[in-house]
Amino acid sequence: MLDFYLINDNQTKPSYPEQANLKFVGALDEKTFGNLLDKKVIDSRFDYYSDFRLGISMVEQLLDTISKRKINSDIDIQPFVLMLNLAFKNNSGLIAYAD
């Protein structure tokens, strides 16, 4: 699973989420992540097996793109949109940890 946590843009990346008491907001399995790549929701520079980070500006951009493409109701996109919305509401970015 790829676990997502809220993280402020100015916060340094902790080695593991528990180290910084990051708030868990959801997870994606490998198949769903691959579908998001295929649907060009997630950029191909992000890898399921590597940790990565999405700053607040990227969160806003992804929400805007998903909204403009009218794909919010897509079964693969729904859990990702929930995580993005939580980040946006908390004025935060997201960090993903591959486990």
pLDDT at 18: 77
Can you give the pLDDT at residue 7? 96
| 9-35 pLDDT, tens digit each | 999 888 777 778 899 999 999 999 999
CB 39 within 8 A of CB 76: yes
Write down the pLDDT at residue 91.
97
Look up residue 73 and give its amino acid. S
Indicate the pairing of strand 52-54 with strand 24-28.
unpaired
In sequence order, which residues have a C-beta less than 8 Å from that of residue 12 and are 6 or more positions away?
A: none
pTM for the predicted model, two decimal places: 0.92
Phi then psi for residue 35, to 5 deg, are -65, -40
pLDDT given for residue 3 in this prediction: 96
Model pLDDT for residues 41-97, shown as the tens digit of each residue:
999 999 999 999 999 999 999 999 999 999 988 999 999 999 999 999 999 999 999
Q: Which domains does the chain have, with CATH numbers?
A: 2-98 (3.40.1760.20)
